[in-house]
Structures are given as C-alpha cells and as structure tokens.
Amino acid sequence: MQSLESEESYVGNLYQRFPVSIIKGKGCKVWDTNGREYLDCMGGYGVALVGHCNDRVVQAITEQCHELITCHMSVYNEVRLRFLKKFNSIAPKNLQSTFFTNSGTEAVEAALKFSRKFTGKSGIIALNGGYHGKTFGSLSVTYNEKYRKSFLPLLEGVKFISYSEVESISEIVTRSESNIGTIIVEPIQGETGIIMPPPNFLKSIREICTAKGLVLIFDEIQSGLGRTGKMWAGQHWDVEPDIMCLAKGVAGGVPMGLATMRPEILNSLKIGEHSSTFAGNPLACAAGSAAIDALVEDGLVTNSEKVGKIFKDGLIKLKENHKIIRDVRGLGMMLGVEMRFDVKDILLDGINHGILLLYSGRNILRLLPPLVMNEEEVNKSLQLIEILIQKEEKRRFG
C-alpha cells in the first residue's frame, strides 16, 4: 500500500484509482506486486484489445526498437507504409486516407478540424451521452456536465441532441444561424454505459449527412477493431462514416491514434495546417501491424463475436436470477451491466476476488476484456461476478 501512496504524491488526484499495483500481464490475466493473479475485464479501458503482451506485438516491438524508434512524418518510412497498407485492407472501403495521432482525443481533435476545413462550417451536432475526450475540442462535443463545467467556455456552435430528435436534424441544419457542417457520434456509447442506438438511427444520420453535405464522424475509439464482434461497430447497421476516429488497442498497447477519412477531406488541408511530432513513429507502426495481424490471422474478431455472446448470455442469466441487475446490453466484448445500486463496492470486492472490472457512471459495470478471452475464462468471470453480486445483495438486503 505504501508504494501506491507514494505514486499518488507524484501524479496528483486526477484518476479514480484502485488499490492494486500491476506489474505483469499476459493474455486476459495480470499480476500484482505480490504475485496475485487477476482476470482482467477492464483491459486498460479497452487498450489491451489483442491481449496483454501479445506475442506478435512483443516480437514486433523488440525487433523494431533495435532498428529505428523515431522517424518524423517529414521523411518516409517503410514500417509506416507497411502499417498503412495493412490498415487500409481492413478499413471501410471509402476511408483510405489516414492522419496519425498519439491518442483518441487527438484523433477527435483532428477530425473536427478537418471537417471544419472541408465544409467551411463551424457548427457541430453531437449526441446526448456522447463521450469523445477531454481536450478542448473533444470536450466541446462530450456531453457530461461534470467534465465540462470547470472549463467553460468551450467551442461555440455545438448542438446536443437525443436519439429521438434525429428527425429534427434537417430543420436544425437549415436554420440560418446553425452553420452545421459536422455530426459526431459513437456507434455504441461506451463511457455512458454501453448504450445501443435505436435500430434505424445511424442509417438516418447517414442519409441526412449525405443529403445536406455534412461530414459524419464515427468515434470508434472504444468500439472499433473487432471489439463488438465485427471489425467496425458501424457494420452492425451497414453504415460507413466520412471520418472514423480510432485509438486504444490499435497498436496492441503502444500509444497510437488514427483519424481515417475520405481522401477529399484530408486533401482539403494544406501543408502545416495540422501535424504531430511523434505520430506515425516506426515503433507504434510496427506494433500496429502486429495488432492487425493478430485480429485478422488469429481470428480475434470472430472470437469476440462468439465468446462475447457466451459472456452476454451468461450475464442475462444472472439478471434473471438477481433482481439487483436492471439491464444487460452490448455486442461482442463490449458489455454493460446496469445495476440498481452504486457499483463501487462490487469493483473493490472484485479486486479481493481476483477480477478487475470497469465502470460507467455510478451504477454500471463495463466489461472490455481482451479479445483473446476464451470460454473457460468467460465462465470463470461469470462465476466471480455472481459471487460479487451475491455479496452486494447480502450487504443491501441482509
């Protein structure tokens, strides 16, 4: 515990932290400083997409760090080119131009800037409940007041709508004062609690953007790259955006973000209008190529669909047996369990029982395990979650 307190004195009180110090990870498991093993359903907030210390990623990083670690975008690099070719082979067919960033919020910042340059319009429509990051631009399109209130004023011209207001978008866009050029959405809202859109919502948004000449941005930072059982969450509704933002597991745990888009959008910018010093570095690109190989060649997207269904079905069964669970939702390995009470005690008890769980707000358990999780590990996770729920029921009801 002393080491945890010592770290706290250096980094400040900016994160909701758990009383555990992790020093090792492999696949779906991590170990603490005492050698204790945990099933990791937190997955580094979704970063451990292809598993902790994935063999392909470790080998790629090891080999690359002996050759070249940094290489600015002002010069060419074969490792970067290899990654781009691999990525374009899995990207939505019309999104074939990519800007490298170092994180998800940077990818959103780039997308918002590029959309404004392309359309010449500064107005943005975002969704109630949407989360896109905490830098000023991405925070401006993030809905939750607790993140926004200390940093106002943010970008002007942002209009938040609910799912039910999709029919009013055309009216909003045609107002003379709106100047709307961009709509940004998460196909599945992650931070808000794994919120699924109404069946025709994304298609309706796509049709409106096409008809009105708006740029549609999908934030797939949490939902992309096989997390939902398809390579891209938008595929569940057969909808393709104009720009797509990625990060988290795109490089197997190494920091990398991407804004990939229709070529004409990226081509609307001039040299120097946007750049990043570390972006597109060969170390991250080597790791990114290995992560894509893991997703495609090791069948992790298919595994996400198959094992995710087993996980969700098991959670639904728990809901049927425990009234403390209000709802179970999600796709693939992006799952949410909405409880009728605060989940803080469940999270802390999880650590004592050898499982790391994530949260959304006060009462939702969020599960973002690595896509390498197998059926045995899912069943063990379900057993542990049921034990935690039973303990919570005993605390609440005696």
Domain ranges in the chain are 2-53+299-397, 55-297
Closest CA to 331 of 196, 220, 225, 201: 196
Pairwise CA distance, residues 206 & 331, whole Å: 21
Cβ-based neighbours of 103, under 8 Å, separated by 6 or more: 133, 247, 255, 257
> Is the pLDDT reported for residue 111 higher than 80?
yes
pTM to 2 decimal places: 0.96
As a whole number, mean pLDDT of residues 101-117 equals 98
Closest CA to 332 of 295, 361, 386, 380: 295
pLDDT at residue number 6: 78
pLDDT-derived band at 259 (thresholds 50, 70, 90) equals: very high
> Model confidence over 316-344: pLDDT tens digits?
999 999 999 999 999 999 999 999 999 99
| The CATH number of domain 2-53+299-397, selected from 3.30.360.10, 3.20.20.70, 1.10.3720.10, 3.90.1150.10 | 3.90.1150.10
Assigned token pair, 189: 């809202």
Helix (H, G, I), strand (E, B) or coil at 127: strand
pLDDT at residue number 8: 81
As a whole number, mean pLDDT of residues 125-136 equals 98
Assigned token pair, 393: 């029921």
pLDDT at residue number 9: 83
Q: Output the average pLDDT for the chain.
A: 96
Cα-flanking dihedrals φ and ψ of residue 292, to 5°? -65, -40
As a whole number, mean pLDDT of residues 151-160 equals 96
**HEC-encoded secondary structure of 319-338:** HHHCCCEEEEEEECCEEEEE
pLDDT-derived band at 5 (thresholds 50, 70, 90) equals: low
> Model confidence over 22-56: pLDDT tens digits?
999 999 999 999 999 999 999 999 999 999 999 99
> Model confidence over 260-276: pLDDT tens digits?
999 999 999 999 999 99
pLDDT-derived band at 1 (thresholds 50, 70, 90) equals: low
pLDDT-derived band at 176 (thresholds 50, 70, 90) equals: low
Pairwise CA distance, residues 184 & 308, whole Å: 27
Percentage of the chain exceeding pLDDT 90: 92
Assigned token pair, 44: 């580094």
* Sign for the pseudo-dihedral over CA of 189, 194, 197, 203: positive
> Model confidence over 177-219: pLDDT tens digits?
789 999 999 999 999 999 999 999 999 999 999 999 999 999 9
382 exposed, middle or buried (CB, 10 Å; 0-12, 13-18, 19+)? middle
> Is the pLDDT reported for residue 4 higher than 80?
no
As a whole number, mean pLDDT of residues 354-359 equals 98
Class of domain 55-297: alpha beta
pLDDT-derived band at 249 (thresholds 50, 70, 90) equals: very high
